[in-house]
Amino acid sequence: MLTLGLILLLFAGLVALLVLSFIRVTIDADETGASICIAWLGSQFRFNTRTRRFAYSLFSKKLFERSLVKSKKRRIKKPKPKKRSKVTIKDARALMKSGFYFIRHLKLRYLRVRLVVASSDPALTGELYGYLTSLTSSLNAQLPKASFDVRPDFFKLSPYGQLASSVDIFVARLLAIAWQLGKYMIVKRRASKRLKGERYATPRIT
């Protein structure tokens, strides 16, 4: 009995550790591409869109690395029949509600945005720069963990910039979202089966 109790206690502690842990997502992006790192309990998944390489590390030791660039082979693609979308307005509302809940419970560690305003018209560039400067100054005052920097470039024809951000996603929140969506899908499937059964039921002759 003592051994069983210890096993149950260790299992409960492990489950609590997994539920109360968080996933850290770090993004570093510019006009050439992005580098994404997802860390959880000593594991790190890295993906670089510039080199198209994926790597996995455990406690800072690289265990796996692979290139996602496929060899160019000419393949004849068969046309696929178009499927009708079964997403309803109610489904979209449920997804939006879960998305807002997910964004609201993100823990921002830092956010650094550098935007260089440029266009083919110097007057438009100056106007946009003035508007964005007033907007970013107010955002910098309201968000202490964020930093926004806007600069003009009167020689380039299109805007460019850099983004660096890191957020923590708690596993408990993800489980709550998965539970709500799963419950919604089960209720929807049962209602769909009930509706089909009523539609194809043979009418009784009285």
In a domain, 199, yes or no: no
Q: Can you read off the two tokens belonging to residue 85? A: 């979308």
Q: Can you read off the two tokens belonging to residue 181? A: 């969506």
**pTM value > 0.75:** no
**What is the domain extent for residue 48?**
22-68
* Nearest residue to 94 (alpha-carbon basis) of 186, 202, 203, 184: 184
User: How many Cα atoms occupy the beta-carbon half-sphere of 177 within 13 Å?
Assistant: 19
Number of domains into which the chain is organized: 1
In a domain, 165, yes or no: no
Nearest-angstrom CA–CA distance, 113 and 145: 11
Cβ proximity of 17 and 42 under 8 Å: no
In a domain, 159, yes or no: no
pLDDT tens-digit profile, the chain (206 residues): 667 777 888 878 777 877 788 889 999 998 888 999 999 888 899 999 888 889 999 888 888 888 877 655 556 666 666 665 566 777 778 778 888 888 788 888 999 999 999 988 888 999 999 999 998 888 888 888 889 999 999 888 889 999 999 999 888 888 888 888 888 888 878 777 777 666 655 555 54
List of E strands, the chain: 22-30, 33-40, 43-48, 53-58, 61-67, 107-117, 146-152, 160-170
In a domain, 33, yes or no: yes
User: Token pair 């690395």 is at which residue?
Assistant: 65
In a domain, 77, yes or no: no
In a domain, 182, yes or no: no
In a domain, 63, yes or no: yes
